[in-house]
Chains A and B, each alone.
Chain A
Amino acid sequence: KAGVTQTPRYLIKTRGQQVTLSCSPISGHRSVSWYQQTPGQGLQFLFEYFSETQRNKGNFPGRFSGRQFSNSRSEMNVSTLELGDSALYLCASSRLPETSGGDTQYFGPGTRLTVL
């Protein structure tokens, strides 16, 4: 079974530009979450999508947005890029939790975004 895939793996942009990152979850997984990882702040939750609906959102400005398609693939978009947006962006997927206690989140390799 293929794992979570993210494209592109590396991206270099300049301030003010916008960027779109893509995530394909494991087949059969309907929940997709996005995280930002930086050396200073560590891993921080961005948002979660479940059945094409944003179910949960972290404490990030409105420049960060996302969506999920009917095949569970997800994209996140960052507009008006700032230097501080340089980070590793990780996507994670999980199944519909069939039992109480949730389910394991499986992470992709990430997209390394550098803003110059």
Chain B
Amino acid sequence: KQEVTQIPAALSVPEGENLVLNCSFTDSAIYNLQWFRQDPGKGLTSLLLIQSSQREQTSGRLNASLDKSSGRSTLYIAASQPGDSATYLCAVGRKNYGGSQGNLIFGKGTKLSVKP
């Protein structure tokens, strides 16, 4: 059974700092891995998708890496800003028979607070 863990559960940093969020998963037979952010009381916003054949993806100040063999992914945020404050969720996808997307298995998230 796939389990996804995110450590730490909460993180507080001063504005401008570079930071890394961690995600680990128990079964390396994944289809893809996605990082999301969730603002309080809101839905999820997709940040980055890494397919199982890829090692990393970049978007602006965000960089996500994937190491299937060790069951780890990291999300690197450069030059953090107060607007980055949110809960960051890691989710592992598996392919469903019939070609559909399948379901995502989520970690509990890391709550990030960036202080001005």
Contact = CB atoms under 8 A, between A and B. Distances in A.
Contacts of A103: 49, 101
Contact of A50 (B31, B43, B93, B100): B100
Contact of A48 (B41, B45, B101): B101
B51 interface: yes
Interface string A34-46: 0100000011110
Interface residues of A, number: 31
B96 A48 contact: yes
A106 interface: yes
B110 interface: no
Interface residues of B, number: 32
Interface string B33-71: 010100001111110010111100000000000000000
Nearest to A39: B108
A6 to B, nearest CB: 8
B95 interface: yes
A113 to B, nearest CB: 14
A58 B42 CA distance: 23
Interface of A: 4, 31, 33, 35, 42-45, 48, 50, 55-56, 58, 90, 92, 94, 96-97, 99-110, 112
Nearest first, the 10 closest Cβ-Cβ pairs linking A and B are: A101-B51, A45-B103, A50-B100, A107-B44, A43-B106, A55-B100, A109-B43, A107-B43, A31-B101, A102-B32
